[in-house]
Amino acid sequence: MERLRVLTLNIWNRQGPWEARRRLIVDGLRREAADVVALQEVLRLERSEAGRLCQGEELAAELGLRLCYGPAHVLDPQRGFVLGNAILTRFAVLREVNLPLPNPERGEERALLHALLETPAGALPMFVTHLEWQLHLSWVRCQQVRFIADCMDQQVQRARAEGLDVLPAVLAGDLNAEPDSDEVRFLRGLHPLPGLDGSPPRSVYYADCFALVGQGDGATFCRSNRYAAREHEPDRRIDYIFVGRVDGRLRGEPLAARRCLTEPVEGVFASDHYGVVADLQVGPRQRELV
């Protein structure tokens, strides 16, 4: 296995014409043939008139993929009505962990879903998240990404301690933040952030795939999508795929990135967000002699 394809999409739960959107999502995911799909705003309803409902299970079944699901925001505790994150993959799942993110404003709860995946190229630490959405709450998102970075380090170290051949970690999702925000600059190694416990600032580095090798327009929440246009917000790139530093065998390098699921069919878009897909080098290589 030389390349790994990762795709991320906020599926907008069941808003809008869900059945028509579901078909576009399934067709789009099948067309892109990603090895790992990160989804946000995935609705799960334990008790309804139609019985149990889980969008993640629906999509995984249609695509023939394995599902990992992590609840985040409880909308109705009585009915078990939650929104969360999901990972769809063709790989075996070695471990699954779901962690609540810091929520200092007591708004909608957010979470980080982690799955350790067994790929032919090595164990892949995959993470998916969806950060606080309000435009003025960058400080909350800063706390959330600092927490995420610490969690990612812990899970990667845990996998290595178990003797696994660990690939560079991948983080994907809807960060609700633009590339020049402090929270995204922290992930890109451009801005240090203190710990939540008052510990000194630290910095990390994850490659922003679209920033490095992206093709075309990068805005993922924008007015060209009529579902997003109704919010009257500026066009923004807020959906990302990050990968850890290239390792000693040159694994983890972003090779290509672009938006996906951008075209409507009979006026229907797959979601109010556009997706992002990236190809990563996961086969080992040797450094060229100078």
Residue 287 located in a structural domain: no
What percent of the chain shows pLDDT beyond 90? 87
Q: What is the dihedral of CA 210, 183, 167, 218, to 10 degrees?
A: -10
For residues 200 and 187, what is the distance between their CA atoms, to the nearest angstrom?
17
Q: Which residue range forms the structural domain that includes residue 96?
A: 3-281
Reference 140, options 108, 114, 173, 97; nearest CA is: 108
Q: Which amino acid is at 159?
A: A
- Tokens 């051949």 locate to 165
Which tens digit of pLDDT belongs to each residue from 215-254? 888 999 999 999 999 999 999 999 999 999 999 999 999 9
Give the domain CATH number at 38.
3.60.10.10
Say whether pLDDT at 8 is over 80: yes
What total number of domains does the chain contain? 1
Reference 85, options 14, 146, 8; nearest CA is: 8
Residue 63 located in a structural domain: yes
Q: Kindly state the helix (H) or strand (E) to which residue 104 belongs, with its residue range.
A: none
- The pLDDT score that the predictor gives to residue 51 is 56
Residue 53 located in a structural domain: yes
For residues 236 and 221, what is the distance between their CA atoms, to the nearest angstrom?
6
Residue 288 located in a structural domain: no
Which tens digit of pLDDT belongs to each residue from 156-187? 999 999 999 999 999 999 999 999 999 999 99
Residue 286 located in a structural domain: no
Burial of 6 (0-12, 13-18, 19+ CB in 10 A): buried
Q: What is the dihedral of CA 20, 108, 187, 197, to 10 degrees?
A: -160
**Do residues 260 and 28 lie in contact, with contact meaning Cβ atoms separated by under 8 Å?**
yes
- The pLDDT score that the predictor gives to residue 286 is 86
Residue 290 located in a structural domain: no
Reference 164, options 99, 85, 92; nearest CA is: 92
Residue 245 has which token pair? Answer: 């530093």
For residues 157 and 151, what is the distance between their CA atoms, to the nearest angstrom?
10
- The pLDDT score that the predictor gives to residue 121 is 97
Say whether pLDDT at 137 is over 80: yes
Residue 289 located in a structural domain: no
Say whether pLDDT at 144 is over 80: yes
Which tens digit of pLDDT belongs to each residue from 25-80? 999 999 999 999 999 999 998 765 555 679 999 999 999 999 999 999 988 777 77
Residue 255 has which token pair? Answer: 């090779």
